[in-house]
């Protein structure tokens, strides 16, 4: 069967398959968006490519106004690209983690997989079905809620339905695109819309493995949660609380000064959730204080949970490194968490990931300061921070911006397009590659020798 043949090919070269399929979808998307039926005014190819890359990488950075410059068909193309991108990322990362390669037997697969689903590896097709079902059911429920909200705001049935579907998909996929003129800023005082969008973001970026384990936990009445579950959930919740408290502290009298206290709390939670890595904002990012910008940077780098639609280095990577540090300070030679020890090769993987991620931030930030010496924003007081924010946002596929995006010149646009693609596809390939090479047995061992560290 064709499905089996494609499946086998995908399984043989997961990294290559990711790169090819994303690049292909990206270019097809760009061409479609470039066609006259997609846009209202003239649209350069680089802007079409930027929008397509931003959509397929579920980043949400925009050089043109999604609401005004695209036709309904153009917006539909963006919707499809986001959905493909979100599903693609989630599926690929789950499959990579489970180590699905046709050359492996079922038993060796069990021993090799990153065991976020302890004692259980579902059949690939069934797993794929579950991911799709989870995605569409979540999106449908959120869309229904948003539809009622938008109706309540007096938008009319057709517009409400279209906007509800677009925003449900955009939020679940952590894409951050909006077909309202000023995005969520239009709804900055609507508790219901903010809460629904935040919920959709969480359904998308908490990661499928957590959902799956939660389902099987209730179904099978198991009382033992996996280490992956505990680490992910603790880190996820801690980061949301950290962001909320920080935003309230630094900007309750600043960017959020005009809001009532309950709304301040909701807005702070909304931005804390959205910074990892959805990219919706109900307040202009440029209005936030420098201290909040700082917090945004941290949240954007850490990003979402693994096996989700979000980007960044991921909560577990951060957790594994934190555990390594904390264990080392307590005197353990290895990383320890919840009375389990984390294998050495996974600590190495986390170190590698973070090292390369920070290197990528530095390089792209560096390029951007080269490409953008003349735009007005760059020359103003935020030059360094604004460019850094832009790159961290693009690499983490977040989509927040202090206003740099709309001022980018040709080379700046190319730089950010590359950043978005590397942040999404490059990272996924790297993870796939690391999962693969980590399991190769080595026939020889080198003798140990100590060096003086620090």
Instruction: Give which of K ion, a copy of itself, none residue 399 binds (C-beta under 5 to 8 Å, depending on kind).
Output: K ion
Closer CB to K ion, 147 or 172, in the complex: 172
* Per-position b or e across 102-136, b if 16+ CB within 10 A of its CB: eebeeeeeeebbbbbbbeebeeeeebbebbeebbe
Minimum CB separation of residue 14 from K ion in Å reads 23
Residue 4: phi and psi, rounded to 5, are -65, -40
Report yes or no: 178 and 67 within 8 Å, Cβ to Cβ.
yes
Minimum CB separation of residue 176 from K ion in Å reads 4
Closer CB to a copy of itself, 1 or 452, in the complex: 452
Instruction: Give which of a copy of itself, K ion, none residue 390 binds (C-beta under 5 to 8 Å, depending on kind).
Output: none
Minimum CB separation of residue 322 from a copy of itself in Å reads 8
What DSSP string runs through 305-331?
-TTSS--SS-HHHHHHHHHHHHHHHHT
Distance between CA 363 and CA 383 in Å, rounded?
16
Instruction: Give which of a copy of itself, K ion, none residue 330 binds (C-beta under 5 to 8 Å, depending on kind).
Output: a copy of itself
Alpha helices in 180-226 (DSSP H): 191-205, 208-220
Closer CB to a copy of itself, 13 or 291, in the complex: 291
**Per CB under 5 A, 85 contacts K ion:** no
Minimum CB separation of residue 225 from a copy of itself in Å reads 11
**Per CB under 5 A, 14 contacts K ion:** no
Contacts of 333-338 with C-beta under 8 Å, sequence gap 24+, read: 337/227, 337/230, 337/231, 338/227, 338/230, 338/231
Minimum CB separation of residue 174 from K ion in Å reads 5
DSSP letter, residue 339 = T
**Per CB under 5 A, 60 contacts K ion:** yes
Report yes or no: 57 and 64 within 8 Å, Cβ to Cβ.
no
Residue 312: CB atoms within 10 Å? 27
Instruction: Give which of a copy of itself, K ion, none residue 385 binds (C-beta under 5 to 8 Å, depending on kind).
Output: a copy of itself
Task: Give the footprint of K ion on residues 347-406 (CB under 5 A).
Answer: 399
CA distances from 304 to 173, 214, 291, 434 (A): 11, 18, 22, 19
Instruction: Give which of a copy of itself, K ion, none residue 381 binds (C-beta under 5 to 8 Å, depending on kind).
Output: a copy of itself
Q: For residue 71, how many C-alpha atoms fall within 13 Å in the half-sphere facing its CB? A: 13
Minimum CB separation of residue 274 from K ion in Å reads 9
Distance of CA 403 to the CA centre of its chain: 20
Report yes or no: 30 and 49 within 8 Å, Cβ to Cβ.
yes
Residue 415: CB atoms within 10 Å? 25
**Per CB under 5 A, 423 contacts K ion:** no
**Per CB under 5 A, 145 contacts K ion:** no
Minimum CB separation of residue 117 from a copy of itself in Å reads 9
Minimum CB separation of residue 159 from a copy of itself in Å reads 40
Site string for K ion, 277-296 (x = CB under 5 A): --x-----------------
Closer CB to K ion, 29 or 60, in the complex: 60
Instruction: Give which of K ion, a copy of itself, none residue 382 binds (C-beta under 5 to 8 Å, depending on kind).
Output: a copy of itself
Closer CB to K ion, 85 or 412, in the complex: 85
Instruction: Give which of K ion, a copy of itself, none residue 35 binds (C-beta under 5 to 8 Å, depending on kind).
Output: none
Task: Give the footprint of K ion on residues 167-226 (CB under 5 A).
Answer: 174, 176
CA distances from 384 to 216, 368, 371, 372, 420 (A): 47, 10, 13, 11, 19
Task: Give the dihedral sign, CA 78/19/59/210.
Answer: positive
Minimum CB separation of residue 26 from a copy of itself in Å reads 22
Closer CB to K ion, 79 or 434, in the complex: 79
Instruction: Give which of a copy of itself, K ion, none residue 176 binds (C-beta under 5 to 8 Å, depending on kind).
Output: K ion
Instruction: Give which of K ion, a copy of itself, none residue 380 binds (C-beta under 5 to 8 Å, depending on kind).
Output: a copy of itself
Q: Using CB atoms within 10 Å of the CB of residue 341, give its burial: 0 to 12 exposed, 13 to 18 middle, 19+ buried.
A: middle
By CB under 5 A, name the binding residues for K ion: 60, 174, 176, 279, 399
């Amino acid at each position: 069967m064709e499905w089996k043949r494609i499946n086998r090919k995908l399984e043989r070269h997961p990294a290559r398959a990711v790169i090819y399929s994303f690049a292909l979808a990206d270019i097809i998307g760009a061409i479609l968006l470039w066609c006259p039926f997609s846009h209202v005014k003239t649209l350069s190819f680089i802007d079409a490519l930027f929008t397509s890359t931003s959509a397929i990488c579920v980043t949400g950075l925009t050089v043109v106004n999604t609401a005004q410059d695209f036709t309904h068909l153009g917006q539909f193309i963006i919707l499809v690209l986001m959905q493909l991108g979100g599903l693609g990322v989630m599926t690929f990362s789950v499959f990579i983690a489970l180590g699905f390669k046709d050359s492996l037997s079922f038993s060796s697969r069990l021993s090799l997989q990153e065991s976020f689903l302890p004692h259980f590896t579902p059949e690939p097709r069934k797993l794929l079905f579950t991911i799709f079902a989870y995605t569409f059911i979540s999106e449908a429920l959120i869309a229904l809620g948003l539809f009622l909200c938008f109706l309540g705001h007096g938008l009319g049935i057709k517009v409400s339905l279209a906007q509800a579907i677009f925003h449900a998909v955009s939020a679940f996929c952590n894409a951050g695109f909006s077909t309202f003129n000023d995005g969520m800023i239009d709804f900055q005082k609507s508790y219901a819309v903010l809460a629904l969008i935040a919920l959709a973001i969480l359904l998308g970026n908490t990661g499928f493995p957590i959902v799956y384990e939660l389902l099987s936990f209730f179904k099978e009445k198991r009382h033992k949660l996996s280490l992956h579950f505990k680490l992910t959930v603790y880190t996820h919740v801690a980061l949301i609380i950290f962001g909320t408290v920080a935003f309230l502290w630094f900007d309750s009298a600043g960017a959020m000064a005009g809001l009532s206290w309950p709304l301040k709390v909701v807005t702070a939670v909304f931005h804390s959730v959205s910074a990892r890595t959805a990219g919706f904002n109900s307040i202009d990012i440029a209005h936030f204080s420098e201290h909040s910008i700082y917090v945004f940077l941290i949240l954007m780098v850490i990003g979402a949970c693994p096996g989700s639609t979000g980007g960044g280095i991921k909560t577990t990577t951060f957790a594994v490194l934190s555990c390594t540090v904390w264990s080392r300070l307590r005197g353990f030679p290895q990383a320890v968490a919840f009375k389990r020890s984390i294998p050495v090769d996974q600590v190495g993987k986390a170190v590698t990931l973070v090292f390369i991620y920070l290197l990528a931030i530095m390089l792209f930030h560096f390029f951007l300061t080269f490409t953008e010496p003349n735009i007005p924003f760059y020359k103003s007081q935020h030059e360094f921070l604004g460019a850094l924010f832009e790159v961290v946002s693009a690499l983490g596929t977040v989509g927040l911006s202090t206003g740099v995006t709309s001022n980018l010149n040709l080379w700046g646009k190319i730089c950010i397009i590359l950043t978005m693609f590397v942040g999404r596809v490059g990272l996924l390939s790297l993870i796939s590659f690391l999962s693969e090479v980590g399991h190769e047995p080595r026939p020889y061992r080198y003798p140990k020798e100590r060096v003086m560290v620090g």
